[in-house]
Amino acid sequence: MESTLDKQQMTEFYKKMLLIRRFEEACGRLYMQGKVRGFLHLYIGEEAIAVGAISALQPDDYVIGHYRDHGHALAKGMDPKVAMAELCGKSTGSSGGKGGSMHLFDSARNFMGGHAIVGGQMPIAAGLALASKYKKEDRVTICFFGDGAVNQGEFHETLNLASVWKLPILFLLENNLYGMGTHVDRSRAGGRHIYETASAYDIPGVQIDGMDVLGVNECVSEAVKSIRKGKGPHFVEAMCYRYRGHSMADPTMYRERNEAEELGIKDPIDSLKNFMVQFNVASEEEFIEIDSAVGAQISDAVQFAEDSPAPEMDAMYTNVYA
Amino acid sequence: MESTLDKQQMTEFYKKMLLIRRFEEACGRLYMQGKVRGFLHLYIGEEAIAVGAISALQPDDYVIGHYRDHGHALAKGMDPKVAMAELCGKSTGSSGGKGGSMHLFDSARNFMGGHAIVGGQMPIAAGLALASKYKKEDRVTICFFGDGAVNQGEFHETLNLASVWKLPILFLLENNLYGMGTHVDRSRAGGRHIYETASAYDIPGVQIDGMDVLGVNECVSEAVKSIRKGKGPHFVEAMCYRYRGHSMADPTMYRERNEAEELGIKDPIDSLKNFMVQFNVASEEEFIEIDSAVGAQISDAVQFAEDSPAPEMDAMYTNVYA
Amino acid sequence: MAEMILREAVAKALREALEDERVFMMGEDIGAYGGAYAVTRGFLDEYGAERIMDTPISESVIVGAGVGSALAGLKPIVELMTINFSLVAIDQIVNHAAKLSYMSDGQFSVPLVIRTVTGGGGQLAATHSQSFENWYASVPGLKVAVPATPYDALGLFRTAMKDDNPILFAEHSLLYGLRGDVPDDWYEIPFGEADIKREGDDITIVAYSRMTHIALEAAAMLEAKGRYAEVVDLRTLRPWDKQTVLQSVRKTNRIVVVEETWRTGGFGGEIASTIQEEAFDDLDGPVARVGGIDVPAPYNGALEAATIPSAQRVIKAIADTYGI
Amino acid sequence: MAEMILREAVAKALREALEDERVFMMGEDIGAYGGAYAVTRGFLDEYGAERIMDTPISESVIVGAGVGSALAGLKPIVELMTINFSLVAIDQIVNHAAKLSYMSDGQFSVPLVIRTVTGGGGQLAATHSQSFENWYASVPGLKVAVPATPYDALGLFRTAMKDDNPILFAEHSLLYGLRGDVPDDWYEIPFGEADIKREGDDITIVAYSRMTHIALEAAAMLEAKGRYAEVVDLRTLRPWDKQTVLQSVRKTNRIVVVEETWRTGGFGGEIASTIQEEAFDDLDGPVARVGGIDVPAPYNGALEAATIPSAQRVIKAIADTYGI
Ligand SMILES: Cc1ncc(C[n+]2csc(CCOP(=O)(O)OP(=O)(O)O)c2C)c(N)n1
Ligand SMILES: Cc1ncc(C[n+]2csc(CCOP(=O)(O)OP(=O)(O)O)c2C)c(N)n1
Ligand SMILES: [Mg+2]
Ligand SMILES: [Mg+2]
C-alpha cells in the first residue's frame, strides 16, 4: 500500500469510512427494531470505494449510484442526521420520509441519488455528464453501479453513448462478486474481468483493489484528471466484497460462511488503520479519539432520527409535480 | 475470390441472389403503384449475406432477423408467391395479409420472422437456441441484425446470455454503415470494427466482406460447424452496403450519391457472375437462361399476388390468440 | 383438503408444471438464492440447473428467451422479480409475445407464462410498489391472472400451463403468507370466471388480487350495519368476467369497484364504464370506484398505507354514492 | 393569421423553444436525416450538432440522458421516433422521470419534453400502429399532451416548454399534413383545458388527437339528421378537463367517448366512469365508448381501417345508446 498522501488526508479517509461503517451498523440495528423498514442494503465492506473515489472530486461534481447508496451519500457530504431520519421515514429526512433507504438525494451536494431500478441510474448519469459538456463546465460525473447492473441493456447503451459523445463521466463498477445471490461467474461472460468490456466502447478501463482506499483514491484521481482534460469517459472496476447479505432479508444460503477468508479479503478500514499505525502516521490514541467522535456522531444521528416528527399526512400529495 | 465450391453450388447462389434482387425490384415497382403499402425496406445490395449464410444451414436450423427480411425469407426457402402476396396484403400471403413486409414468417421452413422493433429479435433468437440446447437437438440459430441494432440494450443482454449459457447461435451483423440516415461512425464506438465487441462477451468474432457470397458461405459454414460442436455462440460482422434508401420513404439526403463508388463497392451478383465466367464455371448463355427463369418466377409471383383475393373482413379477429 | 399459504400453492403449481419435460423456469435468483420471495426455494436441488435457470439481471432477454423457446415448442415459465421491473421487458411482452400469433396469422403461438410479483404495502417506495396489471390487461394477445387466494392461485396456474398464449401471472407480495384450503383432488379454474367470494343483496363489490380481501373486510363492516355486500373477485383481468358482475349488480343495483393501482387510468374505469353501459337501468346510482391515490408510493408507512385502498375508504365510497 | 400544416406548427414551436440556450434536442435521425416524419428538416444546419443531436438507436439512454440533463438544469426535448418504441424506454419515463421530484421531495425536478409519434392508419402493422398515451396518462408525475390541430400543437408545446415536469407530447402521424390557422400573435394553451371544437345541444362527443376529426365528421353526419353534437377535444389527457366535459353533458344529457387505442383498458373508461360518477342524473343513458377494436393492427388496409374508429361507428354507437 503505497501513497503520497499526507496524514490529514488519510485521517479523513479513515473517519469517513468509519462513519459509513458505524452508520450502516446502526441502520441494521434500527431495522431489527422495525424503525427502518422496506429493503435495506448495507455497504459494509465496500466503504473504501465510495470514500476513495468521491474524495477525488470537487463539490460541484456529480455523484449518482444505485440503491446501496448510504455510503456514497455520506461520502459526498450528506448529513448523517438527515440520512438516518430519511431511513426512519421522518419529516426531517432528505426526502421528508418519502424516499427511504434506496432513494437518498442531496441536491446541495450534487448527490443525484439513490436509484433502485438496476442499471436505471446509468442513462441519467450520461445526461448529467452531457449537461456539463453542453454548458462547458468542467464538472465530472461519477456513476456507481454493481456487477449485476453490467448485464442490463442500459449499461451498454450508456457506455456507447458516453464514448461516442466523449462525455465527462467515470463509470465506477463495484464488483462485489454478487448480484443478490448470483455470482458474477454465472451472470457475466468473463465475470472477473468486466473492465475489459470497456474497450469494446473505446473506453479506457482498469481493475483495482476496491478494499484499498488509498489505491482507489489514486486511481480515480488520475481518471478524473484525464476526464477534466476532455479525454472522455473512463471505466474503473473496483473488486470488493459485500460482507452482509444483499439486503437484510437475505439469509445468504448461496455462499460459504468463510468465503471472505478463503478469498483473503482484508477489511478496508482495518487495513488503513494498520498502515497508518505501522508507518507512524497516527497513534492508537488518535484512533481511539476518532472512533469515539464518530460513535458520537452516529448516536446523535440516531437520536435525531428517532426524535424527529413523522411527516404530515398531507406530505403524501406534495412534490408529485414540480 | 477463392473457393472450393462446385458449379452447382455457385449457380444456386447466383440464382438465389438474383431472385432476391428481382423480387426487391418488383416490390419497389408495386410500392410505387400503391399495391405494397406501409414501410418497405429493400435488401438490394446485401443479397450475398442472406444467401451465403443461409446456404450453410440445414432446413431444421432457425433463421430470425429484422424488418429488412425479404432476402432472409427467400433464402430460407419461402415461396416468392406467398411472400409477394403478403406484401400486397392478400389472403394468400404468408400471414394472410396481416403481417406485411416487415413481418414475414414461414414456420414450415423455420423462418422465425421478420421483427420490426430494432433489436427485438435478438432475445427471441437466444430463446430459439436455448430450446435447441434444452432439447439436445443440434440445430443452429442464425440471428441477423443491423449495425443500428448493436446499440440497443437487447443486443448486449442477448450476447451475454448466449455466451454464459453457451447457446448454439450465430450472430450475423449486417453492417451496411447506416441505421436509417445515421452512419455507424456517429452511432457506435468503433463503428467499423463492431466484431471486436464480441470479445467482450468471450464470443469469437470476425469481420468479412458481405458482398462476397462465396466468402460469406465459407466463413459461416465454419462458424456453424463449430457451433454444432457445442462451442457456443459465434459472431460475424458482414460489411456491406445498402444501395437504396433505408425505406422507400427515404430521400437519402444524408449521403453522397456516389458514396458506393467512393467506397469501391462491388455488386455481389455481378461479382459472382464475373468470377464464374472468368473461370469458365458457367457461360453467358447459361446466365441468360437463369436470368429469364428468375424473371419468370418473379412475374409469376407478382401475378399470383395481384390475382389473389383480399382477406375476408373476419380475418381481422382471427389468431389474436392461439 | 390441505391447508397451505399462497406461496406454497404457487410452489405446488410449479412442481406440477415441471412434471412436463417441456417446462423449465428462468429468472433472477430463482435457483441458488431460492427466489426473492422464496417461492422456488429448493427447486434447484430438486430439478437441477438445466430446468431452474438463474439468469443475469437482463429482463428483456429473460422474457425474449422465453418467447423464443416457446416458439420452438417448449413451455417456459419465466419470473420477473417484480412487476416494477417488467417495464424494462415490456417491449418483449407487448410488441413480441403478444403479437406473434397474429402477425404470423397462427403459424406460431407463444405458450409462455410470465410470473411476477405485484403490489405495494411493503414500504419499498415509489419504484418498487406499483401494479401494472391493468396495462397488460389492455393488450390483445395477452392474458392476465391476478389470484387472491391459494386455491385460486393453484387452479389458475394449472389452466395457464395448458394455455398456448402468453400469460402474465401476477402474485401479490403481501399475499404470499395468506392461508387457505386447497383440495387434494385435481381442479382447474378457467380464465374469465370470476368468483363470488361472499354473497349479498345490497351492493356488489368488485375486486381482484389483494383488494379482494379489502373488499371482504368492508363487507364484514357493512354486515355490522345490517347491509349485505356481494364480493366478486375477478381472478383474471384479461379476459374478465362481465357476466358474473352484471348478474350480481342486477340483483344488488349498487356497485363499487376496488383496485390497488392508481385510480386514474386503472382497470376500474373499464369495469365501471362497461357495467353502466350494460346495466344502466339496473343501477340505483353511479358505479363507484375506489383506487390507489394518484401519487407515487411514499416510503413512510403511514403515508403509504393512506395511498392504498382500505375497507374504510370502500365503506365511505359506498355511503357517498348510495347513502347506505 | 398564418395557415400551416401541423408539421410546420411543431417545427415552429421547436424553433421558438430553441431560442433558449438551455434547450437542445436529442433523438434518432432528427439531424442529418431530417426526422423520420420530416419535422426537424433543416434544424441541423440551423442550430448545429451541439443542439440537434442524432443519437444511436438506444431509446433508454436517449430518455435517461434527457432526465439527467434536465436534473442538471437544462431543458431537453427528446424525440422517440414513435410511441411504439417508447416501450423500450418506458422504465426511464415511468420509474425515473416521473418519480424523481416525489422521491427527492422536491429537491429535483425533471423539466423534460418527450416528443413522440402516435397512432395507426399507415398500414405499418401490429408493432408500429399503437397508441399508448392512455398508459402514460395513468402515471402520477407525468403530463400528456395529444394535440389535434396545428393551433393546439403550437399552443400546447409553448406551455410544455414552460413546465418543469416530464411531459409526453404525442403527435399523430396522420395529422402532420393537416392544415389550420395559427395566429401571428403569441398565445399559449394551458394543459387541462379542453377545447369545444364544435357546439351542439343534442350530444357530447369527447375525443382527443386524431379522433377529434372523426368526431367532427360524425357531428357533420348527425347535422344532416338534424341532430347537433358538441365536440369536446381534451387536448391533454393528464391533466384532463373534467369540468368542460361535465358542463357539456349537463347540457346535452348524452355522451360518447371516442379514442383510437384498444377500447378495453383505454382512457375512455376513465372518462366514461368519471362522467357517470359525477353526472349520473344528467344522463339520458349510459356513457357510450367507441375505441379501437381489441386486436393487434393488421397490415391489410381494409382490415386496419376497420379496427380504427370511424364516423360511422360513432353514429352507430350514438344510435344504439340513445336512439338518436
Ligand atoms: C431492473 C431490475 N431488476 C431486478 C431488480 C432486483 N434487484 C435489486 S438489487 C439486485 C442485484 C444487483 O446486484 P449488483 O448490481 O451487483 O449490485 P449490488 O447489490 O451487488 O451492490 C436485483 C436483482 C431491480 N431492482 N431492478
Ligand atoms: C426500438 C426501435 N427504435 C427505432 C426504430 C425505427 N427504425 C427502424 S429501422 C431503423 C434503423 C435500423 O438500422 P440497422 O439496425 O442498421 O438495420 P438496417 O436498416 O441498416 O438493415 C430504425 C431507427 C424501431 N423500429 N425500433
Ligand atoms: Mg454486486
Ligand atoms: Mg444498417
Min Cα–Cα distance to chain A from C124, Å: 5
Candidate from A142-146, A186-190, C19-23, D109-113 with smallest mean pLDDT = A186-190
Q: Kindly determine whether residue C33 and residue A253, on different chains, have CB atoms separated by under 8 Å.
A: yes
Q: Does pLDDT of D264 surpass 90?
A: yes
Q: Taking 90 as the threshold, does the pLDDT of residue B5 lie above it?
A: no
Residues A2-23 pLDDT 10s: 455 689 999 999 999 999 999 9
- Using the mean position of ligand 2's atoms as its centre, give its distance from the Cα of residue C95 in Å: 15
Q: Among C259, C275, C276, which residue's Cα sits nearest to residue C267?
A: C259
pLDDT at A4: 58
- Using the atom order of ligand 2, give the atom closest to the CA of residue B67: 9
Does the pLDDT at position A125 exceed 70? Answer: yes
The rounded Cα A135 to chain-centroid distance in angstroms is: 27
Whether residue C123 has pLDDT greater than 70: yes
My answer on whether omega of the bond before D76 falls inside 30° of 0, hence cis, is no
Q: What pLDDT digit, counting tens, does each position of C211-232 carry?
A: 999 999 999 999 999 999 999 9
B189 lines ligand 2 (CB under 6 A): no
Would you place residue A130 in the very low, low, confident or very high pLDDT band (cuts 50, 70, 90)? very high
pLDDT at site D93: 98
d(C-alpha A293, C-alpha C147), whole Å = 53
Kindly report, residue by residue over C27-63, the tens digit of the pLDDT. 999 999 999 999 999 999 999 999 999 999 999 999 9
User: For every residue of D36-81, which 3-state class applies, written as one string?
Assistant: CCCCCCCHHHHHCCCCEEECCCCHHHHHHHHHHHHHCCCEEEEEEC
Test site for ligand 1: of C54, C62, C81, most ligand atoms within 8 A of the Cβ: C81
The angle formed by the CA atoms of residues A173, A176 and A182, to the nearest 5 degrees, is 110
Q: Does B161 contact C60 at a Cβ distance shorter than 8 Å? A: no
| Ligand minimally distant from the alpha carbon of residue A45 | 1
pLDDT in tens, C262-305: 999 999 999 999 999 999 999 999 999 999 999 999 999 999 99
Helices (H) then strands (E): counts for chain B: 11, 8
Q: CB-based contact (8 Å) between C74 and chain B?
A: yes
pLDDT at residue B191, rounded to an integer: 75
Catalytic residue among D8, D59, D230, D260: D59
Give the separation between CA A123 and CA A111, rounded to whole angstroms: 16
Choose one of C37, C57, C83, C90 to mutate for the ligand 1 pocket test, by most ligand atoms within 8 angstroms of C-beta. C57
CA of D143 to the centre of ligand 1 (A): 29
For residue A178, the cross-strand partners are: A183
CB contact (8 A) between residue A164 and residue B153: no
Contact C267, C242 (CB under 8 A): no
pLDDT at A96: 98
- Work out the pLDDT band at A92, boundaries 50, 70, 90: very high
Helix (H, G, I), strand (E, B) or coil at A38: coil
CA-to-CA dists, residue C96 to A24, C65, C248, D58, D262, angstroms: 43, 11, 37, 18, 17
What is residue B131's predicted lDDT score, i.e. its pLDDT? 98
pLDDT in tens, A155-179: 999 999 999 999 999 999 999 999 9
- The rounded mean pLDDT for chain C is 98
pLDDT band, residue A251 (cuts 50/70/90): confident
B318 touches chain C (CB under 8 A): yes
Residue whose cell numbers read 476513495? A52
Q: What is the pLDDT of residue B1?
A: 47
- The conformation of residue D144, written as its DSSP 8-state character, comes to E
Q: Give the whole-angstrom CA distance, residue B32 versus residue D70.
A: 44
pTM of model > 0.95: yes
Q: What is the number of the ligand 1 atom nearest to the C-alpha of A247? A: 19
Mean pLDDT (chain A, rounded): 96
Identify any residues that bridge with B235 across adjacent strands, giving them in sequence order.
B171, B205
Q: Give the pLDDT of residue A249.
A: 92
* pLDDT given for residue B4 in this prediction: 58
Q: Is the pLDDT of residue A260 over 80?
A: yes
Residues with CB under 5 Å of ion ligand 3 are A 146-147, 176, 178-179
Distance A87 CA to ligand 3 centre (A): 22
pLDDT at A1 over 60: no
Residue A78 to residue A55: CA distance in whole angstroms: 13
D213 is catalytic: no
* Cross-chain CB nearest to C299 (options A89, A179, A188): A89
Could you report the per-residue pLDDT of D149-172, keeping only the tens digit for each? 999 999 999 999 999 999 999 999
Largest Cα span, chain D: 59
Q: Which pLDDT band holds residue A68 (cuts at 50, 70, 90)?
A: very high
**Interface predicted TM-score (ipTM):** 0.98
Q: Report yes or no: B273 and B17 within 8 Å, Cβ to Cβ.
A: no
CB contact under 8 A, C103 and B130: no
Residue with cell 434506496: A102
Q: Do B39 and D300 touch (CB under 8 A)?
A: no
C-alpha to C-alpha distance for D66 and D11, rounded to whole angstroms: 20
- CA within 13 Å, CB half, A32: 5
**Which whole-number Å values give the CA distances from C324 to A200, C205, C226, D28, in the listed order?**
68, 13, 10, 57
Contact yes or no for D148/D233 (Cβ under 8 A): yes
Closest Cβ–Cβ partner in D261, D262, D273 for C287:
D273
What is the overall mean pLDDT for chain B?
A: 96
User: d(Cα D2, Cα D145) in Å, to the nearest integer?
Assistant: 23
Over residues B62-77, mean pLDDT: 98
> For chain A, what percent of residues have pLDDT higher than 90?
97
| Pairwise CA distance, residues A16 & C216, whole Å | 52
pLDDT at D261: 98
Helix axes D6-17, D150-162, angle to 10 degrees: 20
Helices (H), A44-105: 47-54, 70-75, 80-87
Q: Go through D233-251 and write b for each residue having 16 or more CB atoms within 10 A of its CB, e for each that does not.
A: bbbbbbbbbbebbbbbbee
Report which bound ligand comes closest to the CA of A245. Answer: 1
pLDDT band for position A192 (cuts 50, 70, 90): confident
- Residues in chain A with CB shorter than 8 Å from the CB of C313 are none
- Ligand 2 atom with the smallest distance to the CA of B68 is 21
Per-residue pLDDT tens digits for B239-298: 999 999 999 999 899 999 999 999 999 999 999 999 999 999 999 999 999 999 999 999
- The C-alpha cell at B304 is 399470383
Q: What angle do CA C62, C262, C168 make, to 5 degrees?
A: 30
Which pLDDT tens digit goes with each residue over D176-206? 999 999 999 999 999 999 999 999 999 999 9
Percent of chain A with pLDDT over 70: 98
Q: Does A45 touch chain D (CB under 8 A)?
A: no
**Which residues of C are tagged catalytic?**
59, 128
Angle between helices C150-162 and C6-17 (to 10 degrees): 20
User: Chain-wide mean pLDDT for chain D?
Assistant: 98
Q: Where are any strands of DSSP class E within C67-125?
A: 75-80, 113-118
Residue D79 beta carbon below 6 angstroms from any ligand 2 atom: no
Is residue C149 a contact partner of residue C6, using CB atoms and an 8 Å limit?
yes
What mean pLDDT is predicted for residues C247-273? 98
Query: What is the predicted pLDDT for the residue at B251?
Result: 87
- State the average pLDDT over residues C83-100: 98
Helices (H) and strands (E) in chain D, counts: 12, 14
CB contact under 8 A, B161 and C56: yes
- The verdict on B91 touching C (C-beta cutoff 8 Å) is no
**In the predicted model, what is the mean pLDDT of residues D75-82?**
98
| Residues having CB within 6 Å of any atom of ligand 1 | A 68, 116-118, 146-149, 174, 176, 178-180, 242, 246; C 28, 57, 59, 81, 85, 88
Classify burial at C246, counting beta carbons within 10 Å of its beta carbon; exposed 0-12, middle 13-18, buried 19 or more: middle
| Mutant choice from C273, C274, C283 vs D, greatest count of D C-beta within 10 A | C273
| Per-residue confidence (pLDDT) for residue C1, from 0 to 100 | 85
- Checking if the pLDDT of B321 tops 60, the result is yes
Q: Which residue has the cell 395479409?
A: B97
> Which ligand 1 atom sits nearest the alpha carbon of residue A119?
1
Q: Is A94 on the interface with C (CB under 8 A)?
A: no
Torsion of CA B47, B53, B55, B56, to 10 degrees: 170
pLDDT in tens, C142-168: 999 999 999 999 999 999 999 999 999
For ligand 2, pick from B118, B242, B250 the residue to mutate: most ligand atoms within 8 Å of CB.
B118
Chain B CB contacts of A154 below 8 Å: 153
